[in-house]
Amino acid sequence: MEGFQKIGSTSELPPEGEAREFPCGARTICVANVNGAYGAIDNVCPHRGGPLGQGVVHEGQVVCPWHGWQFDPLTGRSGQSTVAVDSYDLRIEGEEVFAKLRDP
């Protein structure tokens, strides 16, 4: 799994409808569970730097806890504007969870 880094175990993944923060290399990423599908995006909201992994999932979108900006956890796109956050590939192998970051 070239380029993938272990971020945790399946027991640490968020339950359906929730998001959590995970350290991944020098970054922290947001992993969200939308109807049983996991998505990973940058943890930093581009609006004012809010921690997306501390937000909630509402109608399939991660909602920033600071000012309510919303992002699709599978694509990183915002339904509110043309702004987006990076999205990352996730892999689950057995009980381990891996994410693949893109080069800056």
Please report, for the chain, the start and end positions of each structural domain, with discontinuous segments joined by +: 4-100
Which residues, including other chains, have CB under 8 Å from residue 82's CB and lie 6 or more apart? none
In this prediction, residue 103 has a pLDDT band, given cuts at 50, 70 and 90, of: low
Q: At 66, phi and psi to the nearest 5?
A: -85, -50
Nearest C-alpha neighbor of 73 from the set 11, 24, 21: 21
13-30: per-residue pLDDT in tens?
999 999 999 999 888 999
Among candidates 64, 3, 83, 7, which has minimal Cα distance to 40? Answer: 7
Structurally, at CATH architecture level, domain 4-100 sits in 3-layer Sandwich (2.102)
CB atoms within 10 A of CB 16: 11
pLDDT digits (tens, 9 = 90+) for 67-85: 999 999 999 999 777 899 9
Whole-number average pLDDT of the chain: 93
Among 19, 79, 13, which residue's Cα sits nearest to residue 55?
Answer: 19
Residue 104 confidence (pLDDT) above 70:
no
